[in-house]
Amino acid sequence: MSRLSRRRDIAIKLSQLYRVAQLHKDRGEILDPAPWLIVFANLLSAAPEKWLGDRKARSAPEWFGLSVSTLSLAARRAGLSVDLDHIRAQVAATEQWRGKESVRLGRNHYVAMRGDTIGRLLGITAEVRRDAAAWTIVPYGVTREELMQQYTERQRCRARDKKRANGAKPHDQSLSRTKPWKKLAMSRRTWERRRAAGTLPELMDSATISEPVSANRILH
């Protein structure tokens, strides 16, 4: 993932977390600020200022990069009730952790928190994820495999609905199920050839048929 893509990914996560926080607020729920500060500090520190160089950094959103002011802004946007001392402490703790990881890896550590870790820390359920459209967050208590199965099922339903909107028939009404050529006592290949040529005979009313219809009676 490129540097710009990572910053966009973090911006999307932050935006979705603000929607989750607003959803809790609309429901009259009070958020525990401690885990939210941990998540916000991690994400903000994963896209620091001057990430793309001096020239491009000046046009970057000012809230990228971890500081007391940027974390305070994130907390305020999420509606968290937290004092400045807690924000300073979280900034110091996150910077210390980033520093240790950078030493351990031998390079700057800018990896952002994974979606499943965020979901677990904040206790985001599948319902909240859906209602807030927080699609980059893995809900608590749901594995990635289960989430992928749900995604595959949604895609399958969308594809089915799209086909029906374009005129496709349900499977139980398909030619393979209805087999209209049998009613005309002919093979499928013959039926398809005559349908393409527009020479298929009309089916007789079932009330007028007292015995099985033979191919000779229909074709002559």
**Per-residue pLDDT tens over the stretch 155-166:** 888 888 887 787
Strands (E), the chain: none
Mean pLDDT along residues 21-46: 93
Looking at the fold, whether 155 and 182 belong to one and the same domain comes out as no
Looking at the fold, whether 155 and 185 belong to one and the same domain comes out as no
Question: Token match 């040529």: residue?
Answer: 197
Query: Does residue 166 lie within any of the structural domains?
Result: no
Residue 64 pLDDT grade (very low, low, confident, very high; cuts 50, 70, 90): low
Query: Does residue 169 lie within any of the structural domains?
Result: no
58 pLDDT higher than 50: no
Lowest mean pLDDT across 129-138, 139-148, 211-220: 211-220
Q: Tally Cβ neighbours within 10 Å of residue 69.
A: 13
Looking at the fold, whether 27 and 111 belong to one and the same domain comes out as yes
Mean pLDDT (the chain) is 80
Query: Does residue 84 lie within any of the structural domains?
Result: yes
Which pLDDT does position 2 carry in this prediction? 62
DSSP single-letter state for residue 172? G
Mean pLDDT along residues 121-134: 92
Which pLDDT does position 211 carry in this prediction? 41
Looking at the fold, whether 24 and 53 belong to one and the same domain comes out as yes
57 pLDDT higher than 60: no
Comparing 154 with 137, the larger pLDDT belongs to: 137
Looking at the fold, whether 133 and 26 belong to one and the same domain comes out as yes
Q: Is 28 left (phi over 0), alpha (psi -120 to 50) or beta?
A: left
Which pLDDT does position 170 carry in this prediction? 67
Distance of CA 155 to the CA centre of its chain: 10
Query: Does residue 172 lie within any of the structural domains?
Result: no
Query: Does residue 38 lie within any of the structural domains?
Result: yes
Which pLDDT does position 171 carry in this prediction? 66
Query: Does residue 46 lie within any of the structural domains?
Result: yes
Looking at the fold, whether 78 and 143 belong to one and the same domain comes out as yes
Looking at the fold, whether 184 and 103 belong to one and the same domain comes out as no
Query: Does residue 171 lie within any of the structural domains?
Result: no
Q: Write down the pTM of the prediction.
A: 0.65
Looking at the fold, whether 135 and 195 belong to one and the same domain comes out as no
Phi, psi values for residue 127, rounded to 5°: -65, -45
Query: Does residue 125 lie within any of the structural domains?
Result: yes
Residue range(s) defining the domain that contains residue 199:
178-203+212-220
23 pLDDT higher than 90: yes
153 pLDDT higher than 60: yes
Mean pLDDT along residues 72-94: 94
Upper half-sphere CA count for residue 102 (Cβ side, 13 Å): 12
Looking at the fold, whether 55 and 104 belong to one and the same domain comes out as yes
**97-124 residue pLDDT tens:** 999 998 998 988 888 899 889 999 999 9
217 pLDDT higher than 60: no
Q: How many independent structural domains does the chain possess?
A: 2
Share of the chain above pLDDT 70, in %: 79
Mean pLDDT along residues 14-18: 93
Looking at the fold, whether 52 and 84 belong to one and the same domain comes out as yes
